Chain A
Amino acid sequence: MRFASADALAGDIKVIANSSVKADVITAVELKRVFLEQNNSLGDGTHVEPVLEKDGPVHEAFLQEFLGRTDDDLQTYYRALVFTGRGSMPKELDSDAEVVAYVAKTRGALGYVSTATSVEGVKILAIVPAGNAAHRTLITRVEPEYPETLKYLNIGGTVRLQVTISAKGNVEKVEVLGGNPILAESAISAVKQWVYTAGHSRITVEESILFGSHP
Chain B
Amino acid sequence: MWRRTVVVVFVCLGAGQVLSNAQEFKLFDRTVQVHGFVSQGFVYTNDNNWLTMDTSQGSAAFTDFGLNVSAPVTDKLRVGAQVYDRNLGQLGQYHPSLDWAVVDYRFKSWFGVRGGKVKTTLGLYTDTQDEDFLRVFALLPQSVYPTDLREATIAHLGGDIYGRLSLKRHLGEFLYTAYAGHRSDSIYSGYPYYFSSFGAHITSYGGLQYGADLRWNTPLKGLLIGASRMNEDITGKGSAINAFNPGAGLVPYSEASKADWINQFYGEYTVGRLRIDSEYRRYWRNQELFSGTSESFADVRGWYVSGAYRICKRLQIGSYYSRYTVTNVVAGALSAFYPPATDTSLPADHDYDKVITGRVDLNKFWNVKIEGHFMNGYGSGPYPNGFYTQVNPQGFKTDTNALVVRTSVYF
Residues of A within 8 A of B (CB): 33, 38-41, 47, 68, 72, 75-76, 79-80, 82-86, 88-89, 108, 200-201
Q: Known contacts A72-B313, A85-B119; decide if A47 and B166 are in contact (CB<8 Å).
A: no
Q: Known contacts A76-B134, A88-B70; decide if A83 and B164 are in contact (CB<8 Å).
A: no
Q: Known contacts A72-B310, A82-B35, A83-B128; decide if A89 and B23 are in contact (CB<8 Å).
A: yes
Instruction: Check B310 against A38 for contact (C-beta < 8 Å).
Output: no
Instruction: Check A39 against B109 for contact (C-beta < 8 Å).
Output: yes
Chain A residues in 8 Å Cβ range of B72: 88
Instruction: Check A40 against B75 for contact (C-beta < 8 Å).
Output: yes
The listed residue (B31, B70, B109, B361) touching A82 by CB distance below 8 A is: B70
Chain B residues in 8 Å Cβ range of A84: 100, 119, 127-128
The listed residue (B66, B104, B109) touching A83 by CB distance below 8 A is: B66
Which chain B residues (65-113) contact chain A, with CB distance < 8 Å?
A: 66, 68, 70-72, 75-76, 78, 80-82, 100-102, 104, 106, 109
Instruction: Check A83 against B75 for contact (C-beta < 8 Å).
Output: no
Chain A residues in 8 Å Cβ range of B75: 40-41, 47, 108
Residue ID in chain A nearest B121 by CB atoms: A84
Known: A84-B128, A85-B80. 14 other contacts (CB 8 A): A33-B109, A39-B109, A41-B75, A72-B310, A72-B361, A76-B135, A79-B35, A79-B133, A79-B410, A80-B128, A83-B128, A84-B119, A89-B33, A201-B168
Residues of B within 8 A of A (CB): 23, 31, 33, 35, 37, 66, 68, 70-72, 75-76, 78, 80-82, 100-102, 104, 106, 109, 114, 118-119, 127-128, 130-131, 133-135, 164, 166, 168, 221, 310, 313, 361, 364, 410
Q: Known contacts A39-B109, A76-B134, A80-B134; decide if A86 and B313 are in contact (CB<8 Å).
A: no
Chain B residues in 8 Å Cβ range of A79: 35, 131, 133-134, 410
Instruction: Check B70 against A83 for contact (C-beta < 8 Å).
Output: no
Residue ID in chain A nearest B32 by CB atoms: A88
Chain B residues in 8 Å Cβ range of A200: 166, 168
Instruction: Check B410 against A85 for contact (C-beta < 8 Å).
Output: no
State the CA gap A200–B110 with chains docked (Å).
Answer: 13
Q: 13 A–B contact pairs at CB < 8 A?
A: A40-B106, A76-B135, A79-B35, A79-B131, A79-B410, A83-B37, A83-B68, A83-B134, A85-B100, A85-B101, A85-B104, A85-B119, A89-B23
Residue ID in chain A nearest B33 by CB atoms: A88
Instruction: Check A82 against B310 for contact (C-beta < 8 Å).
Output: no
Nearest first, the 5 A-B pairs at minimum CB distance are: A85-B102, A47-B75, A84-B119, A85-B80, A84-B127
Instruction: Check A85 against B68 for contact (C-beta < 8 Å).
Output: yes
State the CA gap A68–B82 with chains docked (Å).
Answer: 30
Question: Nearest Cβ in chain A — how far from B188, in angstroms?
Answer: 22
Q: Known contacts A72-B310, A89-B23, A200-B168; decide if A82 and B221 are in contact (CB<8 Å).
A: no
